[in-house]
Amino acid sequence: MPLDAKITIYAPPGNDATPHEAGECLDEATESSNAELATPETVFQPHDELISSAVSEPAFRVSRLEASDVKLVTVKPDATLTEAITLMLRHDYSQLPVMTSERDVKGVISWESIAPILALTKSESAVVRDYMKPHREINASDSIFSALPRIIEYAYVLVRSSDQRISGIITTTDLSSQFRQLSEPFLLLSEIENHIRKLIDGKFTKDELVSIVNPSDSERVIESVADLTFGEYIRLFENPELWKKTELQIDKKIFTKELDKVRIIRNDVMHFDPDGISKENHELLHNFVRFIHTIQSLSRK
């Protein structure tokens, strides 16, 4: 089941009939001599609907990383050194698991394990088993944060799944990519918001800023543009009179429409969607940052 799957649980009122079936029963009962006993009140009872949409596993497990479940490239202990080197070059890998089956790991061969032996021992062996080192592994169910020190120390770890297969290999490169994917939206949104504040800072009175505050939050104290919400920035730009005061030489309608797209993405990010944002939304944030950089630079001229 996906982590963000929505589950609807029904608590039936002691009657397994569907509304359609119940309706048919009612029609039949009405035609019978006992019609008075089968009223809509006795047949139809409102279902109490319990809604659940929380992720089934709140912790960030190793299994959440894409690299934890992939088709592994491996070599056997009796494979030739040339075969191992060729595979590492072909796939741009720094190491390969040495395995006899999908569950049985004999070690790992890597550039780091090969180079010292060739350079210092003048080994004439051409077999992988003579160049491998003991492997490091973690469980797919481990917390990623408890696994971090081992990944950083050894530059890689093998991942063992719940069925005892070696299902993946996680490297420091994978970690960098994953944490960039998780953190970059926050940084991009922060940059966008700071640019928005810069565009409107010093151009409005306190009363003008207060006038665009959400009516349901009217008691909030507004001292500067930093006290406004993202939705209030949009409301400011949508106001024709306030838009004029920004002195921005761009189309108001297009700008506010694009800014509203950013707002929607921001809501998803701030609600910590376990799947993160889509590739398209990630690209939209990057493009908007470039867009607002250009606006900012032109505004200074």
Say how far apart CA 239 and CA 157 lie, in whole Å. Answer: 55
136, 122 contact by CB (below 8 A): no
113, 132 contact by CB (below 8 A): yes
- Residue 7's DSSP bridge partners are 52
**For 73-81, what is the mean pLDDT?**
97
- Residue ranges matching CATH 3.10.580.10 in the chain: 62-175
Q: Indicate whether 17 pLDDT > 70.
A: no
> Which of 64 and 79 is assigned the larger pLDDT?
79
**For 113-131, what is the mean pLDDT?**
90
Residue 30 has phi, psi (to 5 degrees) of -65, -35
Res. 19 pLDDT band, cuts 50 70 90: very low
88, 108 contact by CB (below 8 A): no
Q: Indicate whether 182 pLDDT > 80.
A: yes
Task: Give the DSSP per-residue string, 10-29.
Answer: EE--S----HHHHHHHHHHH
Burial class (CB in 10 A: 0-12, 13-18, 19+), 3: middle
- What does the pLDDT read at residue 33? 44
- What does the pLDDT read at residue 38? 46
What pLDDT, in 10s, does the model give residues 210-242? 999 988 887 889 999 999 999 999 999 999 999
From the options 3.40.50.2300, 3.10.580.10, 1.25.40.340, 3.40.30.10, give the CATH code of 62-175: 3.10.580.10
